[in-house]
Structure 1
Amino acid sequence: MTPRPSRPVRALASALAVGTLLTTAACSDGHGGDAGGPDVVASPVAKEAGETREADTAKKSPTPTPTATAALTKAQAQTALITAAFLEDGWTQAKDADTWHSSLLTGKVDASAFTTDKSAAADCQRLIDGLYDEDLLGKPSGASALTGFTEGNSRLLYQVAAYSKDDLDKSLPWLKSLPTKCDQFTVNSSEGDRTVQVVAAPLPKGSDVRQAVTVTVQGSTGGTPVTLALDVAAVQVGPNAITVTNGGVDGVDHDSTGDAVLFGTQRLKDVLAGKSPAPSPSQFE
């Protein structure tokens, strides 16, 4: 099938206003002087007394520690899911996304081909197993929710979940390393060998930790040659993460992956901040 023409990924119209804080110091001579008048140089004794008071105040009022992002509750995870309104083209929400599994994502990685880094075979096996079991970042430690969308022979699975932050801090770098560790490998299955390739995939830029790869599996099903292509993307927001798996036997629409990541991240942040999430991307602008 001829790939669909690429289209630009929509971007959020976000603006960050930067203000300059001006501090005006006004000194008085002790007799009700005008704060707007000329500066008066304080005496050494007054200066020392002022410094002492400032030091005492600093001891009593330590700098507050920034509040860490909280883990999602069950209700928040469900609310943070995107809808078809956040995806361009003809995506339709599916009711059976929790049952999606592809037989092309089964089998045993041929470790004998890894001559220089035997440990990489385990990383590649983790990738294949994680894609099939839909737990690429590991098992959630807290609330989770998922939804799915279909368009022709393509499927987009969208998951939101709370994890151990330590686990996420390891999972995202692991995902980033796959194009190097698992650039090409073989999976042995009951239906014959399959060739798997992993390359880095594009994502909209953001301040959050985010990674994406494109996985291509060439093999056969029922004796018929087939190629499965999938985008796999993840975004970490504190101890929470979004995972997007998108593609099918007709190829990958990278723009839809980008939409899901871009708008889904903003939606998740709004939910965590206690805001009512926008019903469509246009509401972000």
Structure 2
Amino acid sequence: MIRRPSRPVRVLASALVVGALLTTAACSDGGDSAGGGATPTDLGASPLVRASAATSTPAARLTQAGAEAALITMTDLEGGWTPVKGAEHWDDTLLVGKVDVAAFLTAKTNAADCQRLLDALYDDDLLGKPTGASALAGFQQGDSRLLYQVAAYNPVRLSAALGWLKTLPVKCDQFTATDAKGGKRTVQVTTASVPTQGDARQGLHVTVQGTTNGEPATLTLDVAAVRVGNDAITVTAGGLAGGAHDSLELAVREGAQRLKQVQAGKTPAPGPGRTR
């Protein structure tokens, strides 16, 4: 927001007030030599400075128990989502394919990024391999799935991974991948909105058009990654029935708050979508 220039009379008035306050403070300092005045040390410990220092204090290292506590549960999600075991082995085969490098006429290096995206979606490691504790939870609603992950990362690599995700809607807006049998798949990648949570975030909307069991099929995935300190949450939601953006947004809002509470050494409190 652009601020209007202050009027001269207000600037003068502010200067007079500041001058008066400084004069008063100097007089008070001389009246109590035992410690009533504001010394340089006192000024350094002002509420503003203390608050700034508090916000820059690094969070405690995420433990395995903390990562598991930060996971959302089915009561954090609206609708008929139910927990599913073995979500780490979902591995949707529509995501398996070799990117057609020849189709990238002017920027063939982008093909490597598109291949990396497909592989990362299949392996559930969009942000790379965690460097610390990690946990995941899976949920299913009809033909739709939602995978939620919490993990600790190297801060430099984490920031780089989020920056990489941001480039994909341009580098990989549409490309072709070929499966092991020679079948062609058309992949489209666009930017998706993500709730304003954490320190940084990026969302993607990915569709893969191909065939399943000889029948035409379209896999639709809504993806979100949110950095909270040196930790992050990733959410992938959707399936052959379409995307699940509303559920993804709810998972991000609830999950980011849970992770913040864990980082602060607290037990995550029930959110608005949770039962007590």
CA contact (8 A) 2:130 2:153 kept: yes
Alignment of 1:158-197 (within 5 A): 158-191=148-181, 192-197=183-188
Distance of aligned partners of 1:107 and 1:276 in 2 relative to their CA distance in 1, 3 Å threshold: same
RMSD after superposition: 2.7
Aligned: 1:274 with 2:265? yes
Alignment-derived partner of residue 8 in structure 2:
none
Distance 1:114 1:93 in 2: 40
CA contact (8 A) 2:224 2:235 kept: yes
Alignment-derived partner of residue 196 in structure 2:
205
User: CA offsets per residue over residues 181-221 of structure 1, 9 Å max, x none?
Assistant: 00000001124010000011122223520101010000012
Distance of aligned partners of 1:218 and 1:282 in 2 relative to their CA distance in 1, 3 Å threshold: closer
Alignment-derived partner of residue 16 in structure 1:
none
Distance of aligned partners of 1:266 and 1:56 in 2 relative to their CA distance in 1, 3 Å threshold: closer
Residue type at the aligned position of 2:92: S
Unpaired runs of at least 5, structure 2: 1-20
* Bigger shift: residues 77-86 or 91-100: 91-100
Alignment-derived partner of residue 36 in structure 1:
none
SS in 2 for 1:206: coil
Distance of aligned partners of 1:159 and 1:26 in 2 relative to their CA distance in 1, 3 Å threshold: same
Report the TM-score when normalising by structure 2.
0.80
Residue type at the aligned position of 1:262: R
Alignment-derived partner of residue 226 in structure 1:
217
* Bigger shift: residues 118-127 or 273-282: 273-282
CA contact (8 A) 2:198 2:226 kept: no
Aligned: 1:88 with 2:78? yes
Alignment-derived partner of residue 7 in structure 1:
none
Alignment-derived partner of residue 143 in structure 1:
133
Give aligned pairs, total: 242
SS in 2 for 1:281: coil
Distance 1:121 1:187 in 2: 10
Q: 1:54: Cα distance to partner? A: 3.4
Q: 1:239: Cα distance to partner? A: 1.3
SS in 1 for 2:25: coil
Distance 2:30 2:88 in 1: 75
Distance 1:280 1:29 in 2: 49
SS in 1 for 2:125: coil
Distance 1:182 1:72 in 2: 33
Alignment of 1:1-285 (within 5 A): 25=25, 27=27, 54=40, 66-191=56-181, 192-206=183-197, 208-281=199-272
User: CA offsets per residue over residues 222-244 of structure 1, 9 Å max, x none?
Assistant: 21110000011100012111010
Q: 1:69: Cα distance to partner? A: 2.8
Alignment-derived partner of residue 12 in structure 2:
none
Report the TM-score when normalising by structure 1.
0.78
Distance of aligned partners of 1:115 and 1:251 in 2 relative to their CA distance in 1, 3 Å threshold: same
Alignment-derived partner of residue 43 in structure 1:
none
Distance 1:70 1:30 in 2: 44
